[in-house]
Amino acid sequence: MGISAQNLTHIYNYGFPWEIKALDNISFSVEDGEGFAILGGAGSGKSTLAQHVNGLLFPTTGEIIVNGTKVKPGVNLQELRRAVGMVFQFPETQLFGETVFEDVAFGLRNLGFSEKIVEAQVMEALHLVGFIPSAVRLRNPLLLSGGEKRKVALAGVMAMKNSILVLDEPISGLDARSKKELLTVLKEYRKTNKAIIVYITHSIEEALSICERGIILSKGKLLYQGDLQEYFIQNENWKYLNIEPPVNRGIALTLKEKGLKINDRIITRLELIKEIEKCFKTIKA
Amino acid sequence: MLKINDVYFNYHNDTPREIQVLRGVSLSLGEGEFISLVGNNGSGKSTLAKVVSGLLKPSRGTVTWSSEENCCLKPGHRTRVGLILQNPDNQIVSGTVEEDVAFGLENLQTPPVELKRKVEDTLRNLQLWDKKDHPTQLLSGGEKQKLAIASVIVMEPECLILDEATALLDYRSKEQVLETIKFLQKAKRVAIIQITSSIDEIIPSERVILLNKGRIIYDGHISSFLKDSEIMGLIGFDLPAYAAISHELIGMGIINEICYTREELTDKVLWEYQHRI
Amino acid sequence: MFQNYKSLIGYFLPFNSVIHNLNPQVKLICTVSLISSLLINYNLTLILVYFLVLLLVYRIAKIPLSVLYNSFKPIIWIIIFSSIIHLFTTPGEPLLSMGFLNLTVQGIQKSFILSSRMILIIGFTMLISLTTSPVNLVEAISSLLKPFSWLGLPVNQFSLMLSLSLRFLPVIYEEADRIKKSQLARGADFSSWKLKSRVNNVVSIIIPMIYSAIIRADDLAIAMEIRGFKIGEKRTRLNETRFNFIDLVIIILSLIIFMVTFLL
């Protein structure tokens, strides 16, 4: 099962002089239950790739197989969308329900669940994203604050309990506290549903906080597949990727540049503090 | 340059549906200042921005520019303040970069020769000149926001207000916009008021104003703002990344001062290191 | 984003050619006069001449014929179908008769002329959108409408409206696309036959669209007001379009062609 793509190429406006190759020969695979990051800057093709996972776009050439089924025109899309949930960038723009409950229930009802299951799963999802379900269910989603809207939109997808969840920059534009909260929610979701998380982002630190493995895209081409932490520690190519520079490694590298003998193969804050401490201990010794 | 004296603002003023948004706000703003305006949702930040820019008339109190009183009532005043909103797509009026920058001056009936010169100067200053014939729709998010800034800067305002203007942008575009406003502040002495909910974005400003339920509850230098954990907690701010790291290093006795940028932090650590050898 | 822009607003191909650099007003007048001459008068020689002109102009504009071919794809069946009907239903000397269907000389002529006329009209209209940026096109339309302001019609407001819609069309299209996709991802089925779910699914796109349109309009109003815009107030213009020599020659030529076809 899982997701696997072979030589996936996507060309917009195929056959016209203004065609654009958005993805060029991408191959990767995601195992069940994995946290998988798609990392890249603006225009790298990461959002285009994400839309292939639940059949919103089809490959121009090559193939993508999700849960053992090849995603191509004519495939049973309802079934695919029962398995794959997708959260777009700024998902709060999709809200339309008269009440929070109605909005979150939209997906479940489309997929034909009984009202009893709908009720239970909506309340569970609202609870999961950090609301008191009974307090929020009858409120108008359009009148909530930005962060709350985002949570409702996430709940609207999570309520479907998909075994694969694709998220396109789900926490961008939020304040630090909401970011932290939502990342915890995602981890929780992944654990309880044993779900694959496909996490699209331009920030390595965000990617590492929830994914073990991933791919790096640049201008539609696959640059790297595997352990992301390894990639960022081993080389400095990320400087040319138009992605957010990793803060802690940046500090370590600058310290080294300025002449401190420090091990710069680190990525987390804890590692950085430890390495700095080590340097200072050598003086005392 | 600008004095706001005891300003109140109510939506639906003098009706049963009256909502008080600003309740006695007073502040003054000098030439070339860089201010961060922060506060929770519904604290009145955006309303204050609209009052300062003359889009809304205060229910009570005065907004004074240098000497003129309540000049927001006079036409022509609006060129004093440029207001940039969050979504770059919603603020661009024309199809090409040059046309869009010209829009404001066209409205002021600037003669074509002067208009052309001013548009060119502005585009060159903000490094948009090589894009002057570019369709606005095809610009990146950061470029669009830079264009929005250029389009008000061309009218030579004394003050630029950015209302969450970088919230929707990726990090590189954020840097682009920040560079632009820093340039305007330093080289053109334009006063900057940025409304933000991101702790990292307040770092480049000198002064922080915290608005809470329509009142100013903090107005002071950024360094004392960041030390005040009670105030920071009130609006849910964590320490910015570099400050948090330096906090931990202080706790371990490695450095003795909070740093806010990578340069500052690495210099400090290095200085301590060499000092102890 | 790029691709939507292209496929939505005509099909502007920003090459550098004589045709591209022509004054858009001239292009507009030429196209209109060519099309109206085709509608008024159609004889065989004229159509052949126009085909040659079409090919020549596309060549000058450096536009590959595949573009033309691709845009005919969706309507090719309409053309074929209508020519077949004309082929067999035009009264005249029968060349071949199958029951009540008669293939006539007049029929062949008429169906050839009619389908060529359709192809030519589309070809010339495509040409103007392929070689003129949407912005310039709107500008040209507004300036040609200018005389109507003497009649007291609000031409300036109309032009501003036209150019603002043009500005926001791709933005709104992109947004509609994104919202549609997010509802699809939540299992919405826009091809469902059940009326109730169909209505509900359409609502799931329309409400977010209206909501964001209101916010956009509000933002835009602020942005315009901040920049000193007032409805009905006089404005100066950065670029006034002017005619040059080539423009004049072409406009006279096309008017002559128009007159000649009219008299033929």
Question: Which of A187, A188, A167 has its CA nearest to residue A89?
Answer: A167
Does residue A203 sit at the B interface (CB-CB below 8 Å)?
A: yes
Amino acid at residue number B172: R
C-alpha torsion angle, residues B15, B17, B18, B19 (rounded to 10): -170
Q: What is the pLDDT of residues B215-240, one digit of tens each?
A: 999 999 988 888 888 888 888 787 88
- DSSP assignment of A111-165 equals TT--HHHHHHHHHHHHHHTT--HHHHTTS-GGGS-HHHHHHHHHHHHHTT--SEE
Q: What is the mean pLDDT of chain B?
A: 87
Neighbours of chain A (3+ CB pairs under 8 A): B, C
Q: Stretch C96-121: mean pLDDT, rounded?
A: 83
pLDDT at C2 over 60: no
Which among C227, C234, C237 is the top mutation candidate for probing chain B, defined by the most B β-carbons within 10 Å of its own β-carbon? C227
Average pLDDT over residues B138-145: 88
pLDDT interval class at B71 (50, 70, 90)? very low
Per-residue pLDDT averaged across C91-105, rounded?
Answer: 77
Q: Closest approach of chain B CAs to the CA of A79, in angstroms? A: 34
Across the interface, of C183, C189, C197, the residue whose CB is closest to A94 is C183
pLDDT tens track of chain A, all 285 residues? 899 999 999 998 777 777 889 999 999 999 999 999 999 988 899 999 999 999 999 999 999 999 999 998 888 888 898 899 999 999 998 999 999 999 999 999 988 899 999 999 999 999 999 999 999 999 999 989 888 999 999 999 999 999 999 999 999 888 777 888 999 999 999 999 999 999 999 888 889 889 989 999 999 999 999 998 888 887 777 777 778 878 888 898 889 888 888 888 888 888 899 999 888 888 766
- What is the reported pLDDT for C190? 80
Q: Indicate the pTM of the whole model.
A: 0.81
pLDDT score at C264: 63
Asked if the ipTM is above 0.90, the reply is no
Please provide residue C188's backbone torsions phi and psi, each rounded to the nearest 5 degrees: -65, 140
Asked if A160's CB is within 8 angstroms of C208's CB, the reply is no
User: Which residues of B are less than 8 Å from A145 in CB distance?
Assistant: 41-42
How far off is chain C from B23, nearest CA to CA, in Å? 23
B contact chains, 3+ CB pairs < 8 A: A, C
Q: What is the pLDDT of residues C177-197, one digit of tens each?
A: 889 999 999 988 887 777 777
Q: Locate tokens 């020519």: which residue?
A: C83
**Minimal Cβ distance to A96: which of C66, C181, C207:** C207
Residue A192 tokens, joined = 């309880």
pLDDT at residue C118 is higher than 90? no
pLDDT given at position C260: 75
Higher pLDDT, A132 or C1: A132
Query: Which amino acid is residue A252, in one-letter code?
Result: A
CA-CA distance, B31 to B35, in Å (whole number)? 11
Distance separating alpha carbons of residues B38 and B196, to the nearest angstrom: 6
Q: What is the 3-state secondary structure (H, E, C) of C63-93?
A: CCHHHHHHHHHHHHHHHHHHHHHHHHHCCCC
Q: Which of A51, A84, A89, A93 to mutate to test the interface with C (most CBs of C within 10 A)?
A: A93
> Which of A20, A93, A142 minimises the CB distance to C179?
A93
Q: Among partner residues C138, C170, C227, which is closest to B152 by beta-carbon distance? A: C227
Q: Say whether residue A272 is in contact with chain B using an 8 A CB cutoff.
A: yes
